[in-house]
Structure 1
Amino acid sequence: MMAKLGILVAVAVFLETVSAASLGVVYTEGGMVQGENIRLGFRRHMDVFRGIPFADIPGRFEKPKRHPGWDGVLEATKYRRRCLQLNLIMTDTRGSEDCLYLNIWVPHGRSVSTGLPVMVWIYGGGYLVGGSMGANFLDNYLYSGQEIADRGDVIVVTLGYRVGTLGFLSTGDASLPGNYGLWDQQAAIAWVHRNIRSFGGDPDNLTIFGESAGGASVSFQTLTPHNKGLIKRAISQSGVALCPWGVIRNPRKVAEQVALKVNCPTDDTMVACLKMTDPVLLTMAGTMKLASSPDAPLVHNLVLSGVIDGDFLPDEPYNLFHNAAEIDYIAGVNDMDGHLFTGLDVPSINSPLVDTSVKDVKRLLASYTKEKGQAGLDKAYSTYTSTWGANPSRETIKRTVVEIGSDYIFIVPTQAALYLHAANATTGRTYSYLFSQPNRMGGIGRPYPSWMGADHADDLQYVFGKPFTTPLAYWPRHRDVSGYMIAYWTNFARTGDPNKGNLRVPVTWPKFTSNGNQFLEINFSMDKSYVQQKMRIRYVHFWTSILPSLPTVSSE
């Protein structure tokens, strides 16, 4: 009997193996490609394509061009190098100028998939660093699309784009217009739209999503007129075009600083000289000052970003939301998104032994409100200390510093973008969230205080399903919150409504409207009380209405 059973199991496994759903060789506009087919479970397979070129090797400070194509079958089984960039401690470079490639994950059930929703990921990294694979631990890449694709039954695409000086240097005029990294992203989105049907995707159901500079990039891609009709939905995590670091106001000054570092003149021959300069030297010249203080906060050192070039961005971002009128949009933040920045500006907030002084609070606020002088500082200080009482605790002062940074750098601009999207929307739906799963480094004997919430980038591991991929590194509650986020994100990609799709969600997420301002707080213990209204409305009002109404004393 056991022998018969063994034979039956062997036959079943054999039949499943020979009938494994796979795309095989796929025809694209550049030529044929073949990826790797992996088995995920009984009658569940996935095709993974790594390193498909979506554009040619880019010319220096030029828009990307279509790839000329290739002969034979391209073996798309290895990740390509990331775009030339600084290493994390900014002492050297890594990567290559030949970097405009994308990766695709296609899930299959019993038969080969067709008509799947498509999710295109844009990585963050302050427009200075980053790659489409993300951090790597034992060959487990942060931005592997496998868990999202498998659990949500969607196609996931990740892409490379130029960063640093090669991606964002600009003179503010036609000689060096900038936004090259944004053009790379746009070229990848257009390539996916033209080619994804061959991979089993629906080109008319494309969702772009990204975090930090990638979240701001998603926002830019919905606002530019160059993506008309290409994007159906978008998700911005911890970054929108309206962030204070989103658009550079004086790009010429930055270009001249880079030119001086690489021994180029700053006159009308500057651009020609920059184009001939060694790319590694150019990249090194775009280093960011990591030393920061409350008087010179880290966020003000992010000097390479988008520019209003009259082409990709024809106007101020806040005037372009009509271009996103038909795009469904989710935007949200982590509750302590600013901690990563303010922890470097005011290190005492993470020290259990050192008090944070009221003077440091004032110094940070003064640097954020510099344009408005003393009047701006006084208004800001009274706004943020109104709940302190006569004798605020050391924790209250430290938390206030994190709140100030989170509001200024992320929360308020994201709320402003949601208001503008909702106000301009025709068919596009709008959703707002606050991610509050506490950072795992918080607590006694750990680097962060016990009151720590979700820091910048804490959401990434959950969206990409790491608690499932590496279960030993997480608790069951982390798998819960990861499952919730994948459900909301992929339902939204499928239907435009995060509550409706293939996966069940714990709480119904209401739409954000210009008068209701509802948002969903996301963490492992969600229930109906996690639907709230008017996120940090008092502080949104301060930064968007009260402060701008004060007279400007400094244009810097």
Structure 2
Amino acid sequence: MEMSLTYVHLFYVYLHLCVVEGKNHRMGLFRSVDVFKGIPFADVPGKFEKPKLHPGWSGILKATKYRDRCLQVTLLQTKTQGSEDCLYLNIFVPQGRSLSTGLPVMVYLFGGAFLLGASNDVAILGDSLYDGKEMADRGGVIVVTVNYRVGTLGFLSSGDARLPGNYGLWDQHAAISWVRRNIEAFGGHPDNITIFGQSAGAASASFQSLSPYSRGLFRRVITQCGVALSPWSLQTRPMSLTKKVHRHTITHTNRTVVLTQKALTSDVWPVSVDCVVMDLLELAPVVDGDFIPDEPSRLFHNAAQFDYMAGVNSMDGHIFAGVDVPSINNRTKDTTVEQVKGLLAGLTKEKGDAAVHSAYSLYSAHWGSVPEPAVVKKTVADIETDFLFLVPTQIALQLHANNSSGASTFSYLFNMKTRIPGFPRWVEAEHAEDLQYLFGKPFSTPLVYFPRHRDLSRYMIAYWTNFAKTGDPSRGDSKVPAPWPPFTKNHQPFMIINHQISKSSVRYGFSCVLLCSPGLPSVSREEEETGN
């Protein structure tokens, strides 16, 4: 087993006359990772203002501890945490026998519904889930994780010039710009930057690629379980939400305005039969005529220059389906036809009753005359996965391929069996379960994983970092278990990602029932899942 932190020494990096002090973590024989934590990429932001350049510092900046997350509510929404002084990033630089230079750079944007999260979120046995040491060491890339404003301070908008919104997106843009200006001092290549993210972080990466401000700023994009087209990723009625927030806010000081618990829980919204959890995910980016100048679906010409890789987890929607239809996780209670139709009504209410009947017919076609209870419950999870994640991602992939000017496109489905205890046996890959493998947790905390998990982690790090190096997940320094063909206008393969990847893991077509573009392929989920 490889151990981190067996030996630590200090070193310095010079940034335009500013000195940064970090730590070196030993990873193996002749291998280590230099870690810098808490480097400011912008000044303390004004409330509801774009980020400002940081003035720099005199002396030596000790970049050895994570800084505060941006001010936000806690997960249970009972109190707040964090600080308005929060625009910091962390850098993980792999080192070998010689000092690293010209390395590819991967900038990670965290998820959290645009409401929660931080660059050092979710500690796993002492280390952040987003700790980049394993990925940097095994993949030979520089990993950067960044903070950005979330919640009301990051995404509240009036829909006009008074409060344009998208402050969190501007923070991300400022961080990526800082990386491009300064990463060469850390051994990185400023012309080979990949941005990647998961969930709201994936939607953020998608928005960054669609913005006209990103031209020439980075080279590649990876979105995991979220895109700018996701139904939860864009606030289309910002003033309505702002008025609602105004009725439920408290002012802690003259400089701190946050949502109360009530403003983010169900007592703000009228309870109705067609209310679904997606209706509560209201804080999000907006079309501001500036950073996002138009509807996202009409901006893919701006992303034509970027290589793009995107995918979802096979049961991304399960956790949300469990809120909308709690019976799916109850071993002693069946899920009824009425509940399935109620969920479809909630998800398609803008399309009317005809859409409900049509979707129900398609999703229940494989049930048989007397469907197994587990089949019905799994169908509920499939419905929510399709609506929230799969279909928008497939449309984004198709739009990218259609608009591409020589850039590559790749599609995947992550379907490793869930490791979360207590769920029914039919549950596969939950939302965010891919992250533990991508960030190498099976290697850094080996006692809580099995060899198959380390295989999967090795495969994911290889594919992801190869893509960052070359624009092709199959081509690079890291060995992969099978070639991954590109997604094109007329050819839509996707790679099944699990611990048993082989040539047969490449499949064609996805189930597209809800909101499916006429140009997208459609196959049954039975065909899709034969690779499990």
Interval containing the TM-score (normalised by the shorter chain) = over 0.9
**Would you say 1:482 and 2:457 are equivalent positions?**
yes
Moved more, 289-298 or 488-497: 289-298
Once the two structures are TM-superposed, the CA of residue 449 in structure 1 deviates from its matched residue by: 0.7
Which residue of 323, 328, 331 maps to 2:307?
A: 328
1:302-317 map, 5 Å: 302-317=281-296
Aligned counterpart, 2:266 = 289
- Does residue 102 of structure 2 align to residue 115 of structure 1? yes
The letter of the residue matching 2:153 is: L
Corresponding residue to 1:53 among 11, 19, 40: 40
Q: Which residue of 2 aligns with 1:138?
A: 125
2:446 counterpart of 1:467: no
Correspondence for 1:151 among 138, 148, 151? 138
Deviation, 1:385, is 1.3
Conserved 8 A contact 1:519-1:531: yes
Where 1:24 maps in the other structure, the secondary structure is: strand
Structure 2 segments unaligned to the other structure (5+ residues): 1-6, 520-532
Structural mapping, 1:450-465, within 5 Å: 450-465=425-440
Does 2:322 correspond to 1:343?
A: yes
Tell me the distance in 2 between the aligned counterparts of 1:422 and 1:281. Answer: 40
- For the aligned residue pairs, the C-alpha RMSD in angstroms reads 2.0
Code of the residue aligned with 1:325 in structure 2: it is: A
In the aligned structure 1, how far is the partner of 2:499 from the partner of 2:28? 27
Name the amino acid aligned to 2:481. P
TM-score normalised to structure 1 length: 0.89
Q: Do structure 1's residue 219 and structure 2's residue 192 form an aligned pair?
A: no
- The number of equivalent residue pairs is 512
**Separation in 2, partners of 1:174, 1:153:** 44
Quick check: 1:129 aligned with 2:116?
Answer: yes
Q: Which amino acid aligns with 1:299?
A: M
Change (3 A) 1:234 1:78: same
Q: CA deviation at 1:29?
A: 4.1
The Cα shift of 1:373 comes to 1.6
Aligned to 1:11: none
Q: 1:504 aligns with which of 456, 479, 483?
A: 479
TM-score scaled by length of structure 2: 0.93
Shift of the alpha carbon at 1:351?
A: 1.2
Residue 174 of structure 2 corresponds to residue 187 of structure 1: yes
C-alpha separation in 2, matches of 1:36 and 1:364: 51
| Code of the aligned partner of 1:521 | I
Compute the displacement of 1:278 (Å): 5.3
Q: How does 1:351-500 map to 2 (within 5 A)?
A: 351-441=330-420, 446-500=421-475
1:244 aligns with 2:231: yes
Is it true that 1:82 corresponds to 2:57 in the alignment?
no
Q: Does structure 2 retain, via aligned residues, the 8 Å contact 1:113–1:200? A: yes
Distance 2:218 2:351 in 1: 39
| Larger relative helix fraction | 1
Percentage of pairs with the same residue = 56
Cα separation, partners in 2 of 1:408 and 1:293, compared to 1, 3 Å = farther
Counterpart Cα distance in 2 of 1:48 and 1:520: 33
AA partner of residue 289 (structure 1)? S
Which whole-Å deviations, capped at 9, do the CAs of 1:133-192 have from their partners, x for residues lacking one?
120133211000000000011100000000000000000000000000000000000000
- Partner letter of residue 353 of structure 2? Q
**Matched ranges for 1:191-206 at <5 A:** 191-206=178-193
CA gap of 1:40–1:236, structure 2 versus 1, over 3 A, is: same
Match of 2:516 in 1: 543
Q: Is the 8 A contact 1:37 1:47 kept in 2?
A: yes
SS of equivalent residue, structure 2 residue 266: coil
Matches within 5 A, 1:14-29: 24-29=11-16
Q: Cα 1:122–1:75, aligned 2, differ >3 Å: closer, same or farther?
A: same
Partner of 1:35: 22
After superposition, the Cα gap between the structure-2 partners of 1:285 and 1:451, relative to the gap in structure 1 and judged at 3 Å, is: closer
Is the alpha carbon distance of 1:284 and 1:352 closer, same or farther for their aligned partners in structure 2, counting shifts above 3 Å?
Answer: closer
Gaps of 5+ in 1: 1-16, 264-273, 547-556
Aligned to 1:228: 215
Distance 1:226 1:41, change over 3 A: same
- Whichever of the two has the greater Rg, that structure is 1
Aligned to 1:5: none
Any idea what the Cα deviations from partners look like across 1:415-462, whole Å, max 9, x if unmatched? 000000000001210000000001013xxxx52111111010110100
Shift of 1:319: 0.7
Say if 1:184 and 1:281 are closer, same or farther in 2 by CA, change over 3 A.
Answer: closer
Change (3 A) 1:349 1:483: same
Q: In the aligned structure 1, how far is the partner of 2:146 from the partner of 2:15?
A: 16
Matched residue SS, 1:252: helix
Q: Which amino acid aligns with 2:517?
A: T
> Are the counterparts in 2 of residues 165 and 286 from structure 1 also a CA contact under 8 Å?
no
What SS does the aligned partner of 2:58 have?
A: coil
- For 1:251 and 1:130, the matched residues in 2 are separated by 22
Paired position in structure 1 for 2:524: none
- Which residue of structure 2 aligns with residue 513 of structure 1? 488
